[in-house]
Structure 1
Amino acid sequence: MFKKLRNRFLILNMSIISVVMITAFAVIYITTYNNVQTKNQDKLELLSSKPNLGPFGLSNNTKKEEIVIGMVPSDSSLSFNVFVNSDGKILKVISHVDMPEETYFKATELALNRKKKNSVISLEDKRWQYKILPVNGTIVIRGRPESNIINSSGNNYQITFLDVTDSNKTLRELFTTLFFVGIIMLCVIFAISLFFASRSIEPIAEAWEKQKQFIADASHELKTPLAIINANSDALLTNQEETIKSQKKWLDYIKTQTDRMGKLVNDLLYLAKTEDTNSKILHAPFDISQVVSDVVLSMEAVIFEKDITLLQEVEANIIIKSDSEKIKQVVTILLDNAIKYTDEKGYIDITLKKTRHQLVFSIKNSGESIPKENLPKLFDRFYRADPARTQENGGYGLGLPIAKAIIDRLHGKIYAHSQKNDGTTFTFTLAL
């Protein structure tokens, strides 16, 4: 399920990125293509309007040998002009590039066969862009006085050829570069997207696994008291003639297990409510020093009964702005947890102090230490470091998760520290 969800995220991400990248590359290529074509067209217009005719004029008897090699234009564009009559016969060639005669005639033939006034032809590994214009009226050729006026009578045409091989090569190289860069970028983006898609799925998968584990643990916790209740109910039904007083022990067992299940359900509901981010947290100034003292006072009898030495270092009159009832519950949970796991004649050390930026509360109890690898699990639902002892005390492993949920909602931090032969310390901090 999560693999399919990851693949959907990956496909969606790759689709969006691919569309954006292709669009960007297409805009770059089309813009460059239009700029190159516009530049070539402007050159062609300039060459068509001002052909370098040199000292020779047009003649109706032009032969192959009558080809003029003129000066190369200042912009170094390779070009040539061909003048033809209405029958397609070449009258004159004015060229800025020295090529074989057959090349001029072949270029003219290809241009005329295309029957387009402006297009591109391929000839001998070169690309030539041409433009055909009619030559009307009288053309004056500066040079020999006796041949300086020729009447074209509107039946002749000028074909201007411009070498666009380099510009086409540039466009091909740009296309190739964009193509391979696009492929490489897609591969890199795919790898990055796969990594982050997997990372984004991890919290969902973890939450799903925790939910499954929660259901399994809750079912297990409810299974035992339900089995006890069922067994005692069968015992009552077996002895229906007996009085209620004689059956009191079975009823007491049922009542005990019912109370335990009620406590479990209430704790689960409270934990769900505490973790609900939509629930409101009350923030009001209160004396947390007094809250800690009240909690300790309420549990002094239990501490005395277990012959536990209580050490306190509580700074007086610390005022913070938070939810006093929830803070009181956290302190109660931590103190109750410390009492349960402190052996007789052990000690509990409570510390409350204020630093420059935060409030620090810690409670340390003597007794067996907790292995380092188990410390992160202490705040998991239904986790019990010592299942047997916790069951005897009626716990379900929900106290510390509730404490963590409360501190998290109050934007604080809670953690545990344990060392061999030095007991365990629970600490929570709140910003002032």
Structure 2
Amino acid sequence: MTIAIPQDVLDDVVATRRDLHAHPELAFEETRTAAIVEARLRALGYDVRTGIAKTGVLGILRSGKPGRTVLLRADMDALPIEEQNDLPFRSTVPGKMHACGHDAHVAMLLGAARVLMERRDELAGTLVLCFQPAEEGKGGGREMVNEGVLDDPNVDAAFGLHISSNYPAGVVAWRRGPFFASSDSIEITIRGRGGHGASPHEGVDPIFTAGQFITSVQQVVSRNISPLEPGVVTIGAIHGGTTHNVIPDTVTLLGTVRAFDAEVRAAMPERIERVLAAACASTGATYDYTYVWRYPITVNDGEQTGLVDELARGLFGVERSVEGERTMGAEDFSFFLERVPGSYFLIGAAGGPETSKPHHNAAFTIDERALETGVQMLVALGLEAPRRGR
């Protein structure tokens, strides 16, 4: 298969990505981005739906021919980060930045939308182009699924991509089965009895208790989970006390919990609370404990992922289609994949030290050669995926 993207389309994809990068919007605030998407899709002739999960946009293209209904997704939101890059298109919004590549995702899917419309005579089935808000921790994918994006029309398969600074520019990285971990949160308040730092025996020290818990909770991963199953419990925030010689009444802790196995994930809340209860019992403290279920495991369907590999090899050669390594990062495309078979894959965007910085870093940027690869993959999936299966 050959997918040649016209130069004027590629130029527009780069320009769109840079415009979006300069005007980042946070979760559920993507009004400018959504308006651009809506206007572009309407001008191309798509059936457009807006206001899904607040700022989400759908573009629907029916071929009138037999075939599957296939959804292609791009997320739109930025992060609350002050950009440190010295780029001509750096963020113009203080404290907000596209530090994860979602600007590129939107630009690539809009570029694919244009090519697919130009090649509509080659299409089968129905395409649903999904521009999703609020991937960054706010569960926009869950909200879009809850509001019916997979139901009207009835979606048979779903595909999503993500720019990655962990792979060379132009490489397509895929993986069958679990690819991204689940991500849940813990919120804890340990309640002691405040007092003078010189007389700890007269109070109940919640800071000491928190320290006991933070150390002991790691046994959940090292001793309660099979060594063959990855898991993470990280305490990312601890707040307590105001000065050097006062034992506070309370300490609050925030943490994240990751797993690749559904049974391991399901067991985490009770295992963590058991350690917390023991730490508090040993000092006489009490606690409030909330376990927040956030993003499930991103599990790729084997057949759909095989199609991603097949198309990538056909377009770019075997050296640019690689099996990706599992990551403890999380992704709310998982909510789509819980409902329909599909595949979530990565597009390498590293072209040297400047474009190899980690995601969510204030100096994150991409090698824009990756944009063409992403557009080609989305177009190939739009042309081929509706013809497969059924």
Whether these two folds match at TM > 0.5 is: no
Normalised by the length of structure 1, the TM-score is 0.20
Q: Which has the larger radius of gyration?
A: 1
Greater strand content: 2
